[in-house]
């Protein structure tokens, strides 16, 4: 690692975002023009929409036509150099040697005690060049972990703009926009396509459990990319969406969010908030056949001794009232967990939730579980005790997500 580059990066992040005005993404002018709801929130220091017009209509765009979501605030790190593969294999849970150029995989990374620091997507852009995308910022951790590896790490969050195009008409929108050959992309595959005076990287990935793509382009070409997609998408009723609609879709897909469904190791203030991969449903990605990686010994020891304390599960909830951050009880008496995310699914016609339970609940004891929900009715809060059932995730599985070639409506 080049010391001067490390010093520049550390100096840049020391300024932080506290007290600073929220920054605008490269797509903000287009979002602001569509933001009838004027419902904004802060995402990693950027101004982002909860909803632009109506959450219900935005959700149904994901499931019925096509939806466009600005993912530019998502943290993006470029990791490159002769030692990039070895570095990422040491850092993350999955075997990076199995990730071919032009492919993407979902992964996570932990501290030395095996506690999850974050999850995200790893794009292999070339044999020695990667892009790591995540919810939280990890530059100091990455720089410290890179000591001894021949690798360069660059925070390209602001330099690279991103869009998620999701829904059954997503492929049709890209086809009509002139991205010839995009139909050849299989799930978790990526390729570069010409755009304006440069290129756009398109991957068949997303966070909705539907047919979808993510597009990455240099910030100076962002507005021209938006306009190209927006114009071609009108015949397929393309709609721009905010996070509220996306969040409902991701719960249906059973996907988890850092510092929502689990607390990242760097931000946890209490010992009982730390989580091993096995405790948040990420045990399947722990590859014990590859060389040593961060937290490996701690994970193996927890499995050997049976000291895992938590489990993340999917729930169906009686009734039609969602209850995020509601407590879960056994036999309506003993507190055994908490709902981390919940929604009413219009497709399934059910209330569904993701919850963290204390073992053995969720493993060998799944009977007589209840959730305590408080609802506001006629200006007064009422407590509802609703029965819950543990069910597999994803709650909603759509064949079109993995269809090859992608279908047309």
Average pLDDT taken over every residue of the chain: 93
Each residue of 311-333: pLDDT tens digit? 999 999 999 887 888 999 999 99
Flag whether pLDDT at 9 surpasses 80: no
Contacts of range 138-146, beta carbons closer than 8 Å, 24 or more positions apart: 138/75, 138/77, 138/266, 139/9, 139/10, 139/13, 139/77, 140/10, 140/13, 141/117, 141/266, 142/77, 142/79, 142/91, 143/1, 143/6, 143/9, 143/10, 145/87, 145/90, 145/91, 145/294, 146/1, 146/87
What is the per-residue pLDDT for 14? Answer: 39
pTM, 2 dp: 0.93
* Structure confidence at residue 11 (pLDDT): 37
Binning pLDDT at 50, 70 and 90, where does residue 379 land?
confident
Q: In this structure, are 207 and 308 located in the same domain?
A: no
126/43 same-domain check: yes
Is residue 124 located within the same domain as residue 21?
Answer: yes
Q: Are 133 and 120 in contact (CB under 8 A)?
A: yes
User: CATH number of the domain that 384 lies in?
Assistant: 2.40.30.110
Q: Is residue 24 located within the same domain as residue 142?
A: yes
Domain hosting residue 278, numbered range: 271-391
Give yes or no: residues 284 and 210 share one domain.
no
Structure confidence at residue 15 as a pLDDT band (50, 70, 90): very low
Are both 68 and 180 inside the same structural domain? yes
Same domain assignment for residues 247 and 291: no
- Residue 263, domain member (yes or no): no
Instruction: Tell whether 259 is covered by a domain.
Output: no
pLDDT at 368 over 70: yes
Together in a domain, 211 and 292: no
Residue 53's Cβ-count burial label (10 Å; 0-12, 13-18, 19+) is: middle
Residues 236-255 have pLDDT tens digits of 999 999 999 999 999 999 99
pLDDT surpassing 50 at residue 4: no
* 228 in the same domain as 176: yes
Same domain for 246 and 335: no
**Is it the case that residue 297 has pLDDT exceeding 90?**
yes
Residues 226 and 317 in one domain: no
CATH code: domain of residue 88: 3.30.1360.120
The pLDDT score that the predictor gives to residue 20 is 73
**365, part of any domain:** yes
Q: pLDDT confidence of 7, banded at 50, 70, 90?
A: very low
What does the pLDDT read at residue 8? 34
Q: How far apart are CA 135 and CA 124, in angstroms?
A: 19
Predicted confidence band of residue 6 (pLDDT cuts 50, 70, 90) = very low
User: In percent, how much of the chain has pLDDT > 90?
Assistant: 89
pLDDT at position 18: 53
pLDDT at 122 over 60: yes
Q: Examine the pLDDT at 380 and tell me if it is beyond 50.
A: yes
Residue 51 lies in a domain: yes
Is pLDDT of 3 > 90?
A: no
Task: Confirm whether 291 is domain-assigned.
Answer: yes
CA distance 53 to 357: 36
Domain boundary, last residue among 252, 286, 320: 252
Determine the pLDDT at residue 308. 97
Shared domain check, 276 and 240: no
Q: In the predicted model, what is the mean pLDDT of residues 403-408?
A: 86
Per residue in 131-175, pLDDT (tens digit) is 999 999 999 999 999 999 999 999 999 999 999 999 999 999 999
Q: What pLDDT does residue 13 have?
A: 40
Q: Is the pLDDT of residue 10 over 50?
A: no
Domain total for the chain? 2
On the question of pLDDT at 104 being above 50, the answer is yes
SS3 125: strand
Q: What is the mean pLDDT of residues 45-61?
A: 97
Taking alpha carbons only, the member of 235, 270, 287, 253 closest to residue 93 is 287
């Amino acid at each position: 690692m080049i010391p001067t580059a490390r010093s520049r990066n550390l100096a840049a992040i020391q300024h932080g975002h506290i007290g600073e005005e929220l920054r605008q993404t490269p797509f903000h002018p287009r979002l602001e023009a569509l933001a009838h709801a004027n419902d904004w929130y802060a995402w990693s220091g950027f101004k982002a929409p909860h909803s632009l017009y109506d959450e219900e209509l935005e959700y149904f765009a994901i499931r019925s036509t096509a939806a466009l979501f600005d993912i530019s605030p998502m943290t993006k790190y470029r990791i490159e150099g002769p030692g990039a593969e070895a570095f990422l294999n040491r850092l993350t849970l999955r075997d990076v040697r199995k990730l071919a150029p032009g492919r993407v995989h979902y992964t996570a990374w932990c501290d030395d005690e095996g506690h999850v620091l974050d999850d995200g997507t790893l794009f292999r852009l070339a044999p020695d060049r990667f892009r790591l995308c995540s919810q939280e910022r990890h530059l100091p951790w990455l720089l410290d972990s890179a000591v001894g590896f021949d690798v360069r790490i660059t925070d390209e969050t602001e330099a690279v703009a991103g869009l998620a195009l999701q829904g059954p008409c997503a492929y049709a929108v890209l086809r009509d926009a002139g991205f010839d050959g995009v139909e050849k992309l299989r799930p978790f595959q990526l390729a570069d396509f010409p755009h304006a005076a440069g290129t756009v990287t398109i991957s068949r990935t997303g966070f909705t459990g539907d047919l979808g793509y993510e597009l990455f382009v240099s910030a100076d070409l962002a507005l021209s990319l938006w306009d190209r997609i927006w114009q071609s998408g009108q015949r397929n009723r393309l709609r721009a969406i905010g996070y509220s609609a996306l969040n409902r879709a991701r719960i249906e897909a059973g996907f988890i969010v850092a510092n929502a469904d689990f607390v990242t190791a760097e931000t946890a203030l209490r010992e009982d908030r730390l989580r091993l991969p096995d405790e948040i449903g990420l045990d399947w990605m722990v590859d014990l056949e590859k060389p040593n990686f961060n937290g490996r010994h701690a994970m193996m020891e927890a499995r050997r001794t049976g000291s895992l304390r938590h489990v993340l599960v999917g729930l169906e909830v009686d009734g039609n009232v969602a209850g995020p951050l509601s407590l879960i009880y056994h036999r309506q008496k003993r507190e055994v967990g908490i709902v981390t995310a919940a929604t009413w699914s219009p497709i399934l016609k059910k209330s569904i939730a993701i919850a963290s339970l204390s073992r053995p609940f969720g493993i060998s004891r799944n009977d007589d579980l209840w959730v305590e929900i408080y609802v506001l009715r006629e200006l007064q809060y009422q407590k509802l005790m609703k029965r819950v059932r543990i069910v597999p995730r994803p709650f909603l599985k759509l064949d079109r997500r993995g269809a090859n070639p992608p279908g047309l409506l």
